[in-house]
């Protein structure tokens, strides 16, 4: 198992290289009867599409998704859903020194160390284009979740030092600025900062936050399949992410129990919590509150400055990466974080169907002989 | 798959409740021929044993490990290794209000929400005692890694605001203070702070750091089986962990590409990096540098103060948790983090054997008919 | 993954060697709320217990099962169920030539070829005692199935040439004769044949049949998780089984479509079939008819005759296996086949919960916040 | 996990419906550095292509394979290999009564029972076209095996009562007759029999045999991952297969131990067996002899005779399936059996790399820092 499949009940297998003929994903385990169209998926993909504004590369790709299997007369059939995008920007080109040198901050060296050679064209399998498969799967998972009243929302929490405080969030404007920040004013400040980075031939890191609303209590498996553990893996598996936290996250290290514990209370037959330091997860299982996670995203490693490195023959050299590069990864990664969170939650919701004998009894008594 | 198994090649399945007859783990996929004794494992378990000092609960348990299978004449046989500890502290007792009330910060409510009822004795499956199985497996993984020249070391980076700066690390004293800090002076300050917490009927969070030395480049699977993604899941699956970061972690959000990229250089035929902001992982694959990760651990949720909560009938109430509780989880979790990291690395090292045709050719040519 | 775990939703991990301290199994994924006692399991184990009659070895073992986790107040909790039996017959003995020679028909040579050495005591991991773990798991799966109205029944179809024709089946007497045949008269004939085998220092093969009643239509996953494919794997994974067939099985090779197809008909709102050549499975999915499978079991390889073989230094030699051996494996394997079938069906029933969106909607609407 | 993935180390995921836009497979876990071209795969696919002779349907498809990922400059890269074939025969047509009636012997009814509805076009996911994905994966596995000196060969053992005895095998003519029989004379007799079936508006079953040569001893995992158990599952997961046997198979039921045991002998430092009743597998692990398996294949269920059945509203009716249908499934299934066997063996060979510490030491000492 070489790790290209994610999930236990709702499984997602991505495949494809940056400059190969196509890129795609296969979803196995999506229940039958979910209404699904190519538009549902395209809408998600368009959020990560390059060339949308001056902070994203102008790769000329339409990234048009095609559903090749698993959907019949507008509904999922319960069989594998194969989703593919043809790569259009495959023209033969001179990869120049990229072919021979290890770009700092990229996976060129580690792929060579692992496999003995690599597909050097546009980063090959380690390219950000691999996330197309994740986002396509995330669109399907999100559609499934919306049927159950669950909504996943990711946005840019910070770019460099420009961080939107929670008190100034306006979810309504996330899609209204090219940086997907929940506050247009901060987005403008961040844009200025990115202009400055570009001017300095440099790039910026940032932070993505993701919240999940409408989550029922009881989802997540108690040991290695904890909801937070799976979310951490899912989000950390996105290329540039270097840290993941849930609820109060790293600040719990300095907290005390009396301030960090969330008191329960009951109101109109519902159990809820007065605060949500836990980010909606206790013992790895959802507690019915909003799920909150944050991911730290490193600065784009491709910068225009000259950098020291070695070539694949082990000779010291320096490298200038030509071409235009995004000064920040964060905005395009927002929908990837949202997608990985949606897939994770869908997977655990389905897995949870097997948690109680009464669920089996309920399903099989109602459907004793199939129909 | 209810999530009690971790790993793809070297798999660990833990089982057992706090107050059941026993607790244990089954390891499947440990290669044959590794020298292994009960002492190898006991040494690890003793590091998480309760009652070792005034900051850990005085549960009277010997926690004596027994190898029930998979080892013959002092060597692993390649078949499942079953490791068990009998619980000795099982006397019937009055669980009082714990049986009916949901302790804030614990998994009582979420277990009920998931399964419809719960084993309320000592937290049942969500008890910290579940980590015994992880530590036992970690001991085996660490033994395997040491054969290959790889060493995993975890320690307490911070308790509350008492954080040991990297410049003052002295790895030699980690085992020399009861808090497993890499600096005895900071450990004393942290001890004073914990006394203060106890006095206030409160508890403290903290931070654990884990480094892995001797790691070959090329380990980790490039997409969902990334080394950092698997480490994140492994560590986040430990009860009280609320955040995980690799290398510079969350500080990359404010960094620039020029400062965050690690330059490569070659020296005596070896490729290395001048800095290690990446924490030893590029594109999810080890780069031959030291692996560095940190985990944020929340304060012990069991505190002696009166807390508001609800009972299982959905009535508002308040709760005082009696008995003695650790004022901090961190010191006992250090060996758990180390163990989960060791299991993760062992698993990916074994998985990596299938990365190249030349490895298959090498093994099967040498061993064409078995011996 | 070294193959000691079976199942995807209801997973069974067996561990233990013939002469190690204990043997056992861990079940992960059993839904919460199933009534389960040690007696439920012991009853199954007693059916494979040695020393019950003159055709089974007189190993002096009580084989007393212990539930170590996953059951609280008589019900499963949804967490792993650990089941263990202490081996009592572990006295140090002289394994003599078994230690050095490869017994024909046994796994001695192949274990050495695989691992470089082996636990030679009583066959180690390849001993029939490994099936204790399977039968314990099968008892739990059977209890679960009985709650849903599904009943798995295995019996001895044939010993040597003594084969009970379907027209003479009397299920009521399966447990009434020591060979578990569904006809006492044939059982007596088979007993005479086995006496003859013993007299000739020889052993006999046989055939086991297993039927599953009350199976709802729609169970099984259509490609690699077909109900028949999983049953085939499950049953072929039992040591001495050399063939598995479903419904008409191998005789379909000589059949024609017109005679082999089962016509559907409807009666009182139920869809059924006029014949059942398919053995209850179409396209890998149950069709609501009785499931029928048969397994061919080879003769006990341990016979008292002198046999030619080689020793582990590759020298030609001959071997007489001393001690008493069962003249036939079949009777003790009956409950193992039944157990593996039960685990397979339970696993696919649980997996099938995720086949339709309407099941998710039904469960999560009814249980929006856990209780 | 809905069962569309097979294998643990070398995993194959198939997707696609008979009349959807395309059909394909994704292989994850193929080691890097295997020379692979589209021709390697096309050659396999051409062996199952329809319309090759009068016994196979004349569907007008070129079935041209395309490698979409995982191969760079003619070698596998270690990343997922995506293989796709566009379906060309997708013209809208009148499916007539097939849309409403359950064809006997097909999966129409069971798909409806499972999912609540079905893609009725050409059988949808349960169509034989699904095996294209298996054969494409089998071609890759076979290429890998051939590098290690292992050769998998399948052929038609019998059609109806026309069975080629082992003494008359001529492997050289398998590809020389349209029925893939290892004897042209028997192939002619079988052809006559099939003409007779066609004349009677009927169809015939048959038997496929598969042998694996060059297999090293020691391959297979001892419990649920036995080589024979995995082969049984792999082969039984092919649509029309109703029985699988290894070596002497079902005839062991009537054998005695003295005749069924294979004596070992040593010659020139090699251990071998005098006979091979076991079919090359002992205790689930290869013993270095030829692996032998047989599969029973049912008659084509689509026959031109009028058949009784029910429609999806549960009304009794009768059905005549129009169009031309193969009078036998066997010849086209030969390469599917061979492919599933090849994938199974490749998977277990790779898994076996983790069986010994000495293998890890050998690989990681030679490659301490990647290259």
Give the residue numbers spanning the domain of C112: 5-364
Say if the Cβ atoms of D216 and B33 lie within 8 Å: no
Q: Give the pLDDT of residue B61.
A: 57
Say if the Cβ atoms of B202 and A358 lie within 8 Å: no
Asked if residue C369 is part of any domain, the answer here is no
Q: What is the dihedral of CA B131, B137, B140, B143, to 10 degrees?
A: -50
* Overall domain count for chain C: 1
Task: Please give the helix or strand (H or E) that residue A198 lies within, else none.
Answer: helix A184-199
| CA distance, residue B84 to nearest chain A CA (Å) | 18
| CA distance, residue B18 to nearest chain C CA (Å) | 10
Mean pLDDT, chain B, rounded, equals 93
- pLDDT band for D53, please (50, 70, 90 cuts): low
- pLDDT band for A370, please (50, 70, 90 cuts): very low
**In whole angstroms, what is the distance from residue D349 CA to residue D327 CA?**
37
Say if the Cβ atoms of C31 and A79 lie within 8 Å: no
**In whole angstroms, what is the distance from residue C291 CA to residue C78 CA?**
28
Q: Evaluate if residue D207 carries a pLDDT over 70.
A: yes
Q: Give the pLDDT of residue B37.
A: 98
Over the stretch D66-76, which tens digit does the pLDDT of each residue have? Answer: 999 999 999 99
A-facing residues of D in 45-104 (CB < 8 A) are: 66-70, 72, 75, 77-82, 84
Q: Evaluate if residue C11 carries a pLDDT over 60.
A: yes
Nearest of B111, B292, B331, B319 to residue B205 by alpha carbon: B331
- Structural contact between residues B210 and B154, judged by C-beta atoms closer than 8 angstroms: yes
DSSP A130: G
Kindly state the percentage of chain C with pLDDT values over 90.
87
Q: Give the pLDDT of residue B169.
A: 98
Kindly report the backbone phi and psi dihedral angles of residue C194, in degrees, each rounded to the nearest multiple of 5, phi listed first: -70, -35
Asked if residue D371 is part of any domain, the answer here is no
- pLDDT band for C249, please (50, 70, 90 cuts): very high
Chains touching chain D, criterion 3+ CB pairs below 8 Å: A, B, C
Q: Give the pLDDT of residue B309.
A: 97
**In whole angstroms, what is the distance from residue A123 CA to residue A107 CA?**
8
- pLDDT band for A52, please (50, 70, 90 cuts): low
| CA distance, residue C110 to nearest chain B CA (Å) | 8
| Contact residues on chain C for B127, CB-CB shorter than 8 A | none
If 0-12 CB within 10 Å is exposed, 13-18 middle and 19+ buried, where does residue A328 land? buried
Over the stretch A161-184, which tens digit does the pLDDT of each residue have? Answer: 999 999 999 999 999 999 999 999
Measured between CB atoms, does B283 come within 8 Å of chain D? Answer: no
| CA distance, residue C285 to nearest chain B CA (Å) | 21
Nearest of A123, A128, A130, A127 to residue A98 by alpha carbon: A123
Q: Quote the tokens at residue C254.
A: 């000589």
Nearest of D351, D205, D357, D341 to residue D279 by alpha carbon: D341
If 0-12 CB within 10 Å is exposed, 13-18 middle and 19+ buried, where does residue D366 land? exposed
- pLDDT band for D97, please (50, 70, 90 cuts): confident
Q: Give the pLDDT of residue B371.
A: 38
Q: Evaluate if residue A58 carries a pLDDT over 70.
A: no
Over the stretch A335-354, which tens digit does the pLDDT of each residue have? Answer: 999 999 999 999 999 999 99
**In whole angstroms, what is the distance from residue A241 CA to residue A208 CA?**
10
**In whole angstroms, what is the distance from residue D153 CA to residue D338 CA?**
6
| Contact residues on chain B for D349, CB-CB shorter than 8 A | 360, 364
**In whole angstroms, what is the distance from residue D302 CA to residue D324 CA?**
9
- pLDDT band for A97, please (50, 70, 90 cuts): confident
Looking at per-residue pLDDT, the higher value among D50 and D13 belongs to: D13
Q: Evaluate if residue A371 carries a pLDDT over 50.
A: no
- pLDDT band for D341, please (50, 70, 90 cuts): very high
Q: Give the pLDDT of residue C225.
A: 98
> Which stretches does DSSP call E strand in chain B?
5-6, 11-16, 22-28, 66-67, 71-72, 75-76, 81-86, 151-159, 162-163, 206-213, 241-246, 264-267, 270-273, 281-282, 285-286, 291-297, 307-310, 316-319
Residues A366, A370, B3, CA angle at the centre, nearest 5°? 75
Over the stretch D284-329, which tens digit does the pLDDT of each residue have? Answer: 999 999 999 999 999 999 999 999 999 989 999 999 998 878 999 9
Mean pLDDT, chain C, rounded, equals 93
Nearest of A297, A284, A278, A180 to residue A236 by alpha carbon: A297
For CA atoms C356, C361, C364, C367, the dihedral sign is negative
Asked if residue D183 is part of any domain, the answer here is yes
Q: Evaluate if residue A91 carries a pLDDT over 80.
A: no
Residue B210: give its domain's CATH number.
3.60.150.10
Q: Give the pLDDT of residue A88.
A: 81
Say if the Cβ atoms of A110 and B223 lie within 8 Å: no
The closest CB to that of A232, out of B236, B258, B351, belongs to B236
**In whole angstroms, what is the distance from residue D229 CA to residue C95 CA?**
30
Cα distances (Å, whole numbers) of residue D178 to A256, D5, D136, D294, D331: 78, 31, 21, 20, 7
B-facing residues of A in 207-226 (CB < 8 A) are: 207, 216-226
**In whole angstroms, what is the distance from residue C78 CA to residue B88 CA?**
24
Asked if residue B234 is part of any domain, the answer here is yes
| Contact residues on chain C for B20, CB-CB shorter than 8 A | 68-69
Q: Per this entry, what is the length of chain A?
A: 371
**In whole angstroms, what is the distance from residue B100 CA to residue B312 CA?**
6
Asked if residue D239 is part of any domain, the answer here is yes
**In whole angstroms, what is the distance from residue B326 CA to residue A139 CA?**
44
Asked if residue C32 is part of any domain, the answer here is yes
**In whole angstroms, what is the distance from residue D332 CA to residue B8 CA?**
35
- Structural contact between residues A261 and A282, judged by C-beta atoms closer than 8 angstroms: no
Over the stretch B197-209, which tens digit does the pLDDT of each residue have? Answer: 999 999 999 999 9
Q: Evaluate if residue B46 carries a pLDDT over 60.
A: yes
B-facing residues of A in 163-192 (CB < 8 A) are: none
Task: Among B101, B203, B223, pick the best mutation site for testing chain A contact (most A Cβ within 10 A).
Answer: B223
- pLDDT band for A323, please (50, 70, 90 cuts): confident
- Structural contact between residues D7 and D114, judged by C-beta atoms closer than 8 angstroms: no
Nearest of B216, D371, C174 to residue A313 by alpha carbon: D371
- Structural contact between residues A32 and A76, judged by C-beta atoms closer than 8 angstroms: yes
Provide CB contacts within 8 A for C363, sequence distance 6+. Answer: A353, A359, A362, A363
**In whole angstroms, what is the distance from residue B51 CA to residue D36 CA?**
60
**In whole angstroms, what is the distance from residue B15 CA to residue C28 CA?**
9
Kindly state the percentage of chain D with pLDDT values over 70.
93
- Residue matched to tokens 């709760």: B319
Over the stretch C310-368, which tens digit does the pLDDT of each residue have? Answer: 998 999 999 999 887 899 999 999 999 999 999 999 999 999 999 999 999 999 985 44
| Contact residues on chain D for B219, CB-CB shorter than 8 A | none
Say if the Cβ atoms of B308 and A110 lie within 8 Å: no
H-only helix segments in chain D: 38-48, 108-115, 131-147, 184-199, 227-236, 257-260, 330-351, 357-366
Say if the Cβ atoms of A17 and D369 lie within 8 Å: no
Task: Among D26, D111, D134, pick the best mutation site for testing chain A contact (most A Cβ within 10 A).
Answer: D26
Q: Evaluate if residue C184 carries a pLDDT over 50.
A: yes
Q: Quote the tokens at residue D211.
A: 């042998």
| Contact residues on chain D for C106, CB-CB shorter than 8 A | 282-283
Asked if residue A369 is part of any domain, the answer here is no
- Structural contact between residues B83 and B27, judged by C-beta atoms closer than 8 angstroms: yes
Nearest of D102, A357, A368 to residue C216 by alpha carbon: A368
Q: Quote the tokens at residue C167.
A: 């027209």
3 state DSSP class of D186: helix
Say if the Cβ atoms of A257 and B105 lie within 8 Å: yes
**In whole angstroms, what is the distance from residue D196 CA to residue D188 CA?**
13
If 0-12 CB within 10 Å is exposed, 13-18 middle and 19+ buried, where does residue D269 land? exposed
- pLDDT band for B1, please (50, 70, 90 cuts): low
Q: Give the pLDDT of residue D370.
A: 40
> Which stretches does DSSP call E strand in chain D?
5-6, 11-16, 22-28, 66-67, 71-72, 75-76, 81-86, 151-159, 162-163, 206-213, 241-246, 264-267, 270-273, 281-282, 285-286, 291-297, 307-310, 316-319
Say if the Cβ atoms of C356 and A33 lie within 8 Å: yes
Q: Give the pLDDT of residue A55.
A: 63
Measured between CB atoms, does D203 come within 8 Å of chain C? Answer: yes
Residue A81, beta-bridge partner list: A27
3 state DSSP class of B195: helix
Say if the Cβ atoms of A370 and C218 lie within 8 Å: yes
- Structural contact between residues D182 and D173, judged by C-beta atoms closer than 8 angstroms: yes
Over the stretch B316-363, which tens digit does the pLDDT of each residue have? Answer: 999 999 887 899 999 999 999 999 999 999 999 999 999 999 999 999
**In whole angstroms, what is the distance from residue C4 CA to residue D225 CA?**
7
Kindly report the backbone phi and psi dihedral angles of residue B207, in degrees, each rounded to the nearest multiple of 5, phi listed first: -135, 140
- pLDDT band for A89, please (50, 70, 90 cuts): low
Asked if residue B87 is part of any domain, the answer here is yes
Q: Quote the tokens at residue B265.
A: 């250089």
- Residue range D277-285: mean pLDDT, rounded: 98
3 state DSSP class of C333: helix
Give the lowest-confidence range in B42-56, C46-60, C267-281, D191-205: C46-60
**In whole angstroms, what is the distance from residue D106 CA to residue D112 CA?**
12
Kindly report the backbone phi and psi dihedral angles of residue B26, in degrees, each rounded to the nearest multiple of 5, phi listed first: -125, 125
Q: Evaluate if residue B90 carries a pLDDT over 70.
A: no
Q: Give the pLDDT of residue A242.
A: 98
D17, closest residue in chain A (CA to CA): A69
- Residue matched to tokens 């009972």: B311
Kindly report the backbone phi and psi dihedral angles of residue D263, in degrees, each rounded to the nearest multiple of 5, phi listed first: -70, 140
A12, closest residue in chain B (CA to CA): B224
| CA distance, residue C75 to nearest chain B CA (Å) | 10
The alpha carbon of residue B111 and the mean position of all alpha carbons in its chain are separated, in whole angstroms, by: 22
**In whole angstroms, what is the distance from residue C83 CA to residue C24 CA?**
5
């Amino acid at each position: 198992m070489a790790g290209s499949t994610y999930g236990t009940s709702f499984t997602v297998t991505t495949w494809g290289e940056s400059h190969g003929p196509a890129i795609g994903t296969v979803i196995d385990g999506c229940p039958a009867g979910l209404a699904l169209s190519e538009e549902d998926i395209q809408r998600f993909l368009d959020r990560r599409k390059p060339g949308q504004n001056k902070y994203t590369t102008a790769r000329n790709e339409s990234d048009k998704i095609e559903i090749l299997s698993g959907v019949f007369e507008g509904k999922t059939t319960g069989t594998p859903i194969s989703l593919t995008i043809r790569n259009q920007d495959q023209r033969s080109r001179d990869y120049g020194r990229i072919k021979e040198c290890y770009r700092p901050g990229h996976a060129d060296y580690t792929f060579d160390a692992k496999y003995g050679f690599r597909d050097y064209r546009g980063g090959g399998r380690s390219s950000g284009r691999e996330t197309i498969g994740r986002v396509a799967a995330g669109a399907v998972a999100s559609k499934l979740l919306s049927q159950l009243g669950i909504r996943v929302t990711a946005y840019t929490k910070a770019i460099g030092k420009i961080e939107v405080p929670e008190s100034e969030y306006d979810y309504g404007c996330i899609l209204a600025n090219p940086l997907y920040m929940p506050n247009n004013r901060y987005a403008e400040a961040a844009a200025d900062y990115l202009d400055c980075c570009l001017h300095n031939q440099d790039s910026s890191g940032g932070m993505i936050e993701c919240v999940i609303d409408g989550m029922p209590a009881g989802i997540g498996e108690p040991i290695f399949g904890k909801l937070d553990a799976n979310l951490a893996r899912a989000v950390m598996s996105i290329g540039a992410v270097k840290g993941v936290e849930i609820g109060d996250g790293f600040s719990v290290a300095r907290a005390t129990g009396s301030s960090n514990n969330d008191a329960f209370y009951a109101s109109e037959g519902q159990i809820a919590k007065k605060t949500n330091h836990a980010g909606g997860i206790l013992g790895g299982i959802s507690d019915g509150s909003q799920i909150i996670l944050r991911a730290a995203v490193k600065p784009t490693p491709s910068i225009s400055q000259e950098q020291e490195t070695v070539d694949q023959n082990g000779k010291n050299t320096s490298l200038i990466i030509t071409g235009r590069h995004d000064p920040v990864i964060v905005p395009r990664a927002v929908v990837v974080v949202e997608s990985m969170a949606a897939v994770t939650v869908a997977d655990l919701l389905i897995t949870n169907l097997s948690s109680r004998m009464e669920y089996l009894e309920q399903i099989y008594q109602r459907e004793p002989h199939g129909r």
